[in-house]
Every structure is written in structure tokens, then in C-alpha cells.
Amino acid sequence: MNEVVLTPKEQPYVPIETSTIKPDDFANKSIDEIKDLEVWYGNTSSKIGDFFDVEGESGPTPAETNILIDGDVYNTKRIGQGMTDGKITVNGNVNMYVGAEMEGGIITVNGNADSWAGQDMRGGELIINGNARDYVGSSYRGDWRGMTGGIITIKGNAQNEVAEYMLGGKLIIQGDVRHMPGVHMNGGLLVIEGNVISRPGGEMKNGTIVIKGIVSEFLPGFEYHGIEKDLNIQGESIKGSFYKFKGDFSEKGPDGTVYVAVAGNNHIVP
Amino acid sequence: MEYIIKNGNVYDPLNKIDGEKVDISIKDGKIVDSVSADAKEIDASGQIVMPGGIDPHTHIAGAKVNVGRLIRPEDSKKDTEFSKPDSGKRAGTGFSVPSTFMTGYRYAQMGYTTAMEAAMPPLLARHTHEEFHATPILDHAAFTLLGNNWFIMQYLKEGDIDKAATYASWIIKATKGYAIKIVNPGGTEAWGWGGNVHGIDDPTPYFDITGGEIIRGLAEVNEMLRLPHSIHLHCNDLGHPGNYETTLASLDLPKGIKVDPVTGSRKTSVHATHIQYHSYGGTNWRDFVSEAPTIADYVNKNDHITIDIGQVTLDETTTMTADGPMEYDIHTLNGLKWANCDIELETGSGIVPFIYSPKAPVPSVQWAIGLELFLLVDDASKVCMTTDSPNGGPFTRYPRVFSWLMSNKAREDMLENKVHKWAEKRTSLATIDREYSFYDIAQISRSSPAVVLGLSDTKGHLGVGADADIAIHNFNIDNQDPSADYGAIESSFQRSSYVFKDGKIVVQDGEVTIPNHHGRTFWVDSLYNAELEKQVVSEVENVFKQYYSVNFENYPVQDEYVLKPAPINGIKEAGK
């Protein structure tokens, strides 16, 4: 396993877009070739070498190539977009679209991520050890076909409309979220271990949402189905007692399921 | 600048040139007899030369096209074009509804130099013309929607055909429009009441007039005004199984009306658009079958009609039409997002994304019906190439449709490997072995639309005096067989080796070279009866005060809105 280490120079004021930072583009390339890969700096075509010091050696295939971004890249977007194999580790914060459209491999962010992490994800694993913002595991704007596979884990909190139009795969948020998690969801599993401010599962047609914390405001489009204990969903075993709801009946023939922990949530039960 | 195109195999149906090597001389934007020795020579050996393509029915400018762009950002990312600031080339996005600049570029890259916006609501004419400003290269015009217009319905109901003609001539002039467009006559008005009409004998609410009466009335008005184009008819019951009977009944209505346009050589009294969507048998989607042979037979036996197809290309696309109730049907069928608009006293519209999956039975049959119609109508001068872009598929798929038409093998490959078996079982496509020639292709995409639009004096041919709109495609008829090498047909039409527009090279090797060339706006300037027009306009003004959301003074499109006007003279005071 070979590793390429990118050490960020000062982050530019205008964000850079770096979908070329992925094992698929680095594999089987010399360090000079990697420095020459294109990145977008605003509306200008630029090069990786302009923003990073590059060291190490790439492997012959993506699977044998690790990328370490050793530092904070808070103004760098689209890291690992569309990657199919290998590993990316970031020791710092990242901007939007980390792991968007990824199909395989592992991305680990030891920091916070901005919005659209894992957008349209197809496979692989994305781990954010800090917080994430809006639209984690969502669809592309306007599309009704979002994330279809893979696993996203957010160790901290996320914000609004996570798992929007999700169709498959798993999204686990260990902290809290804000409004409308799982909006328009149509498959897959969304687990929120912390609290939800409002409207989980709005207009969902299918898929499962599990909320272990407190839901302040719940939608009226769901049917109450009693209490269930110790869930087992998509190979994920989740302990505890949950209120079960089916919906959202604002849609035609919905088959979505929302489990909300019994503890602290009796205000949403009919 | 002078050019001479040498050694190409020329296809120019209006001048009966079928693949012969003829030199084409160009001077000052026109095709001329001869040029001086200074003329730049273009060697087209091993290539085919045709007049610039003409699309007689597409949706490229105006409010509903723009809403289509707005509601489909996910369509935007499927095709993109970068800007080249030094050349004036603008960035653009969009596969089924490209942005305006990209629309111009993509058409030009395929060798198309004229395209007609098929549905312009009078109230939104200004927006349509604004988008034409930003659509480079193409000559263009817009068809004014009149089939659900309150004034037209009122005058026809009262039997006052003179007033209907006066209003039509005034509104076409006021909107800088080109033709009378009829969409689901009576049906879109009924949609304003939450319903639809079925067939041509179902009266629309309040006005109590049927689709049939509107079609016949406007067909008469069209020939009273002696417009360059015939009525452009989108029949009732679009997309409903069993609708072919409505189609046949509708097409019979304008039969026998005397046709004598002021300009052009049109002899037909009705153009039935996207007829593929109107050739359905059966009673529901389960027993849905093709009635294309019946429709094709009618077209073969009658000379008052031309058609365009509305070919389905089996893509994910965006449907958009002034047929509001039909779009609601689509939305309830596929559950995808839907935009709807009621345009006051004039028309309506709807927009829904649609996925024509080759694996699904119904889209496969629709695909086959379109091809049946192309292949079963014997006379290609009655047929125009369209996909009703973007409804059946985006216009960028025309080259692929050409390859299906020119190669039986291409169709066999589709039937055997790509589409649902219903395409074979529910249609006659598999039994047809006709293959289009390049001459036929030049007819359906060049000469037929030019004649039916009344533009054949300057468009759709390569004779002396024609506009120098010329496409050169890299296909060598001496050593390439279109039937076997159908992939090469598609690629050679997708990216022309040269495209001339008004005598300038606007595309070379498939890339746009003059991105800011601006095309003409054709519109019809006619006056049916000056005195009656005063009276009709004052009636219109009164209705405006009561019902319209804009002031009358802000309604007609001023001359400044048309950058490069090309008025076609209609009748002057014929109604006196």
C-alpha cells in the first residue's frame, strides 16, 4: 500500500474544487504528474501543486493508493468525488461535496465537513469525525434519485435535510440534526442517535428512519403502529424501545417507517 | 467573403440533385451562380453537402422552456459547455432543455440553421423574443397559440369569421408571430375549469364551442389571411390509447379549403404535428397498439396534409406543452414533478420530466410508432423530422433518428437487443425493410419543412438566390454503406465538418467558430381589414380592462424586441 501525502499551503479565499484528489486519479502517476492534475480555482483552471506540497508515492491501482491530506482544507471542495477504491484521510476540515458520487473506498475526515457530504453516493464508506452541515447523503439538486448505497457516519452533529431523497445505503449520525431529516426518503436507513428539531420523514415514501433522541416536532402525516423493542434493520441491530410510525400519508401509498425512542417522546404519540 | 464548395455529394431535393457532385458558390450570404477567382475553396470530397437543417417544431424559447430549465437542475449537469471569452462563446448547460446559447450551438453543430418555436402564448411573446435574442446562429420564428383563445372562440361561436380573421392577423402581428398554432382545441380552456375535452365534438365550458369547430374555423382564417404556413395542429386527445380516430376526424376538417399563400409554394391546408402521439389504438395502456399504418394510409391518400413525427428517442427528457390537462395526466402517471400555468384568456401549459425507458413496453411501442410513420408514408415531401424536442427526446438525438431511418440493421439491433418486445408485437415495425436515402433525409429535415413553412424561396435548398445556409457532413457515399455503418451516420450528423450560416462558416470540425452570429426573426405582417381591425382592437381593449393582468399598451411586442426582423408580407386589406 503506497501513500501520497498532500500538505496544504495557505487555503485560498475563493474555494478550490478538487475532484481530482482521489486514488483513481493518483494511481500509477509520478509525484510531478500528480502536481499537474487540474483543480478549479474559481473559474480558473489551476493545478494541485499550486495549493499543496505533494510527497510520497502512488500505488499501481486505486485500491493500492492511500491519500493523506495533512492539514486543514476548509476551502477545498469535492475531495474524493466519484472515487471507486482506495483511501483518503483528511487531518482537518473540508468544504462541500466530500465523497459526492463515490462508489467505493474509504474517506475519513478528522474534522468538520460542510454541506452535501456524500451527495449521490453509490458505495464505499465516508466517515466524518466532526460535524457536518446540510444535505448529508442527499440527491443532486432537483433530482428525485439520491444516495443509493454505501455507508456514511457522522460522529458529531449534522444540520438540515440529511438523507434527502435517499434510496439506499446507510447514514448514521451520532449527534443531533435540525429540520427535516429523511425528507422525500424512498429507501435505505437513516439512524439519528441524538435529537431532531422537526419534521423527520416529511413526504417519505419508503425506507427507515430511527431516532434515539428527542423529536421536538413531528408531522401529522404518519400513522402510529405501537411500540417495538430492539430493532434489526439492514443488518444494523439497534437496542431500545421505539414508537413505530408509518407514512408519510401526504404521499400516495407510502411505506416509510419512522422509529422514535420511547424515552422523552410521549408528546408525539396520539 | 466568397466561398466555393467543391467535390461534395450534394443532396438538394428542391432542385432534384441526388448526390451528384455540384459546386456551390457563395457570395454575400447568398448562393450565387459563380464567384471570382479569389473565392476560398472548401474541398468537400468524400463528404455530403445539404442545405442547412430546418426544424419546423421545437421548444427552444419562452416561458415554459425556461420553467423547464428552472425545475430541472439535474438535467443541467448532463450536458455542459464551457465559455471561451475571447471568441464570444458563452457557457451553457442542459441535456433535454439546454440554455439558450447552447441551444444555438448544438443545433448548429448538427448542421441545423433554422428552428421554429412551436408554442408562443401571446401574453408571453415578449419573453419568447427575449430568449431568441440569446439564442445564436439560428433563424427562427414562433407560432402564436390561438386554439384556446377567448376572442377566437367567441368570434367563431358567433359565426363572425371576418372578425376572427381580423383578430388572428392582428395578434400574429402584435406578437411578432409566424403561424396559427392550435393545441388541444377547447381542451386547454376546459383545463382552466379543471377538465378536458374528449374528441372533436366535445364542447368546451362556457364558450360552448367544439375542438372541431375551432380547427375548421382557424383553418379557414389561415387561408383567408393567406399565411405562409398552414394551421399547425396538435390534435385533441394527445397520448391517449385509441386517439387515432380523433386524429383522422381532425385531419379531415381542413380538407377542401382553397390554399393560395402570398409567399411560398405551400399547397396543404393542415400540418399535423408530432403525429406519433396521435396514432394510438387500443382502449388503455394494457391493450395499447399502433395505428400508425392507418394514419400513414390517410396521409398517403390525401394531399392537403403534411406531418411531423415527434419521434421518441428513448431518453430521459422533459415534456412541455400548452396541453395543460395532458401534462397533468403525465404527472399522475409517473408521479414526477409538475409545473402548470394558466395563461389568462389565451392558453395554459404544463411541464413534467419523463423517462422513456427502452425496457418499458409503452415507450418502446411509442418509439416504434414514430418510425412506422416515417417509413410508411411514401412521399417524404409530406414528412418533417421532429422529436417535438424535448417532448419525444432532445433535438440533439436527430442524428440517431436518421441512423434508425437509414439502416434496417440499426432497427433490428434495437428490436432484438434494446427495446421491449411490445415494439415488435404491437406494431408493424419489424415487417418494414424500407431504408431512407440521404435524399429522403434531406427532404424530411430540409426541403419538406421549408415548403410547409412557406420559406422555400430562400431556405431548404441550394439554388441560386437561396440563403447560404449549408451543412457538410463527413460521410463518404463511395466507400461507406449507411445501412451497415449506421454509427457513422449518427456521428457525421452530430458534428458537421462545416456549417455555413448566411455565407459565414459558423461551425468547423464540429466546433462552433462564430458563436455570436445572430439569426433572423421571421414574422408575418398582414392586415385583413383596417376598419374592422380598429373595431376588433377596441373590443380587445375593453376585455383587457376587465380581465387581463397587464395593460393593453404593454401587450404588443415592439419592434425593438426583434433584433434582426425578417417580416413576411401577408395579405393587405383583402377582407374589404
Interface predicted TM-score (ipTM) of this complex, two decimals: 0.90
Average pLDDT of chain A to the nearest whole number: 97
Strand order in the sheet with A177-179: A177-179, A196-198, A215-217
Amino acid at B538: S
Residue A90: band (very low, low, confident or very high) from pLDDT cuts 50, 70, 90: very high
Report in angstroms the alpha-carbon separations of B33 from B24, B52, B466.
8, 19, 11
Residue B560 DSSP symbol: G
Among B74, B335, B337, beta carbon nearest to A141: B74
Report in angstroms the alpha-carbon separations of B366 from A89, B359, B420.
50, 12, 11
Q: Do B72 and A144 make contact, defined as CB atoms within 8 angstroms?
A: no
Mutation target among A141, A165, A205, A251 for the B interface, most CBs of B within 10 A: A141
pLDDT for B77 = 93
B285-318 residue pLDDT tens: 999 999 999 999 999 999 999 999 999 999 999 9
- For B504, other C-beta atoms within 10 Å of its C-beta total 16
pLDDT for B576 = 63
- For B242, other C-beta atoms within 10 Å of its C-beta total 16
Query: Distance from first CA to last CA of chain B, Å, rounded?
Result: 47
pLDDT for B370 = 98
Antiparallel, parallel or unpaired: β B470-473 and B498-501? antiparallel
Match 467535390 to its residue by C-alpha cell. B7
Average pLDDT over residues A20-26: 98
Q: Do A144 and B337 make contact, defined as CB atoms within 8 angstroms?
A: yes
- Kindly state the cell numbers that stand for B407: 439502416
Q: Do A143 and B74 make contact, defined as CB atoms within 8 angstroms?
A: yes
Average pLDDT over residues A115-136: 98
Query: Is the separation of the CB atoms in B275 and B369 below 8 Å?
Result: no
Q: Could you tell me which chain A residue has the CA closest to the CA of B68?
A: A142
- Kindly state the cell numbers that stand for B86: 475571447
Chain A contact set for B80 (CB, 8 A): none
Among A140, A142, A252, beta carbon nearest to B71: A142
Q: Do A143 and B336 make contact, defined as CB atoms within 8 angstroms?
A: no
Nearest-angstrom CA–CA distance, B97 and B131:
13
Q: Do A140 and B335 make contact, defined as CB atoms within 8 angstroms?
A: no
Phi first, then psi, for residue B501 (nearest 5°) are -130, 120
Phi first, then psi, for residue B293 (nearest 5°) are -60, -35
Q: Do B74 and A140 make contact, defined as CB atoms within 8 angstroms?
A: yes
Q: Could you tell me which chain B residue has the CA closest to the CA of A139?
A: B74
CA A33 from centroid of its chain's CA atoms:
30
Nearest-angstrom CA–CA distance, A153 and A136:
10
Collapsing DSSP to helix, strand or coil, B255 comes out as: coil
Q: Report DSSP letters for B32-46, one per residue.
A: ES---TTSEEEE-TT
Nearest-angstrom CA–CA distance, B457 and B2:
21
Nearest-angstrom CA–CA distance, A222 and A58:
51
Per-residue buried b or exposed e for B431-447, using 16+ beta carbons within 10 Å of the residue's own CB:
ebeebbbbbbbbbbbbb
Q: Could you tell me which chain A residue has the CA closest to the CA of B77?
A: A140
pLDDT for B575 = 67
Per-residue buried b or exposed e for B268-295, using 16+ beta carbons within 10 Å of the residue's own CB:
bbbbbbbbbbbbbbbeeeeebbbbbbbb
Q: Do B75 and A142 make contact, defined as CB atoms within 8 angstroms?
A: yes
Strand order in the sheet with A76-77: A44-47, A38-41, A16-17, A76-77
Nearest-angstrom CA–CA distance, B58 and A69:
50
Amino acid at B389: S
Report in angstroms the alpha-carbon separations of B131 from B108, B512, B554, B555.
17, 20, 18, 17
- B72 interfaces chain A, CB cutoff of 8 Å: yes
Nearest-angstrom CA–CA distance, B573 and B314:
48
Chain B contact set for A140 (CB, 8 A): 73-74, 77
Chain B contact set for A139 (CB, 8 A): 74
Query: Distance from first CA to last CA of chain A, Å, rounded?
Result: 56
- A144 interfaces chain B, CB cutoff of 8 Å: yes
Mutation target among A101, A140, A205 for the B interface, most CBs of B within 10 A: A140
Per-residue buried b or exposed e for B38-69, using 16+ beta carbons within 10 Å of the residue's own CB:
ebeebebeebbbbbbbbbbbbbbbbbbbbbbb
pLDDT for B108 = 98
Q: Which helix (H) or strand (E) holds A90?
A: strand A87-90
Torsion sign (Cα): B413, B414, B415, B420: positive
**Which residues 285-344 of B are in CB contact (within 8 Å) with A?**
335-337
- A143 interfaces chain B, CB cutoff of 8 Å: yes
Residues 6+ apart with CB under 8 A from B194: none
- For B478, other C-beta atoms within 10 Å of its C-beta total 7
Which of A39, A35, A37, A67 has its CA nearest to residue A52? A35
Check whether A124 has a pLDDT greater than 70: yes
Question: Is residue B332 classed exposed, middle or buried when 0-12, 13-18 and 19+ CB atoms within 10 A define those classes?
Answer: exposed
Residue A177: band (very low, low, confident or very high) from pLDDT cuts 50, 70, 90: very high
Q: Do A142 and B72 make contact, defined as CB atoms within 8 angstroms?
A: yes
Collapsing DSSP to helix, strand or coil, A106 comes out as: strand
- Kindly state the cell numbers that stand for B173: 402581428
Phi first, then psi, for residue B563 (nearest 5°) are -70, -45
Question: Is residue B570 classed exposed, middle or buried when 0-12, 13-18 and 19+ CB atoms within 10 A define those classes?
Answer: buried
Nearest-angstrom CA–CA distance, A35 and A49:
4
Query: Is the separation of the CB atoms in B231 and B282 below 8 Å?
Result: no
Q: Measured between CA atoms, how close is A43 to chain B, in angstroms?
A: 10
Residues 6+ apart with CB under 8 A from A26: A4, A34, A37, A58, A62, A65, A67
Q: Do A140 and B77 make contact, defined as CB atoms within 8 angstroms?
A: yes
Q: Do B75 and A144 make contact, defined as CB atoms within 8 angstroms?
A: no
Nearest-angstrom CA–CA distance, B526 and B569:
6
Q: Do B73 and A144 make contact, defined as CB atoms within 8 angstroms?
A: no
Q: Do A144 and B336 make contact, defined as CB atoms within 8 angstroms?
A: yes
Residues 6+ apart with CB under 8 A from A128: A98, A109, A112, A113, A117, A152, A153, A154, A155, A156
pLDDT for B457 = 96
Q: Do A142 and B335 make contact, defined as CB atoms within 8 angstroms?
A: no
- B74 interfaces chain A, CB cutoff of 8 Å: yes
Residues 6+ apart with CB under 8 A from B160: none
Chain B contact set for A141 (CB, 8 A): 73-74
Q: Do B72 and A141 make contact, defined as CB atoms within 8 angstroms?
A: no
> What CATH code would you report for B2-50+460-512?
2.30.40.10
Q: Could you tell me which chain A residue has the CA closest to the CA of B72?
A: A142
- What is the number of CB-based contacts under 8 A between chain A and chain B? 16
Q: Could you tell me which chain B residue has the CA closest to the CA of A143?
A: B74
Which of A210, A213, A215 has its CA nearest to residue A230? A210
Residues 6+ apart with CB under 8 A from A16: A39, A40, A41, A46, A51, A75, A76, A77
Nearest-angstrom CA–CA distance, B135 and B100:
5
- A229 interfaces chain B, CB cutoff of 8 Å: no
Query: Is the separation of the CB atoms in B317 and B390 below 8 Å?
Result: yes
- Kindly state the cell numbers that stand for B319: 415534456
How many alpha carbons fall within 13 Å on the CB side of residue B197? 30
**Which residue ranges in chain B fall short of pLDDT 50?**
none
Chain B contact set for A167 (CB, 8 A): none
Query: Is the separation of the CB atoms in A70 and A61 below 8 Å?
Result: no
Q: Looking at the whole model, is its pTM more than 0.90?
A: yes
Collapsing DSSP to helix, strand or coil, A259 comes out as: strand
- B71 interfaces chain A, CB cutoff of 8 Å: yes
- For B465, other C-beta atoms within 10 Å of its C-beta total 11
Chain B contact set for A164 (CB, 8 A): none
Q: Report DSSP letters for B313-336, one per residue.
A: -SSEEEEEES-HHHHHHHHHHH--
Q: Crossing angle of helices B211-224/B161-174, nearest 10°?
A: 70
CA dihedral of B329, B333, B339, B342, whole degrees rounded to 10: 10
Residue B467 DSSP symbol: B
Q: Do B336 and A252 make contact, defined as CB atoms within 8 angstroms?
A: no
At CA B316, angle to CA B314 and CA B317, rounded to 5?
Answer: 105
Average pLDDT over residues A110-119: 98
Which of A110, A91, A8 has its CA nearest to residue A50? A8
In Å, the largest CA–CA distance within chain B is 69
Nearest-angstrom CA–CA distance, B269 and B262:
14
Chain A contact set for B336 (CB, 8 A): 144
Mutation target among B74, B97, B337, B351 for the A interface, most CBs of A within 10 A: B74
- A140 interfaces chain B, CB cutoff of 8 Å: yes
- B208 interfaces chain A, CB cutoff of 8 Å: no
- Spell out the alpha helix ranges (H) of B382-447: 398-406, 408-413, 422-425, 438-442
Q: Do B337 and A143 make contact, defined as CB atoms within 8 angstroms?
A: no
Q: Could you tell me which chain B residue has the CA closest to the CA of A144?
A: B336
Q: Could you tell me which chain A residue has the CA closest to the CA of B335?
A: A252
Q: Do A142 and B336 make contact, defined as CB atoms within 8 angstroms?
A: no
Average pLDDT over residues A73-100: 98
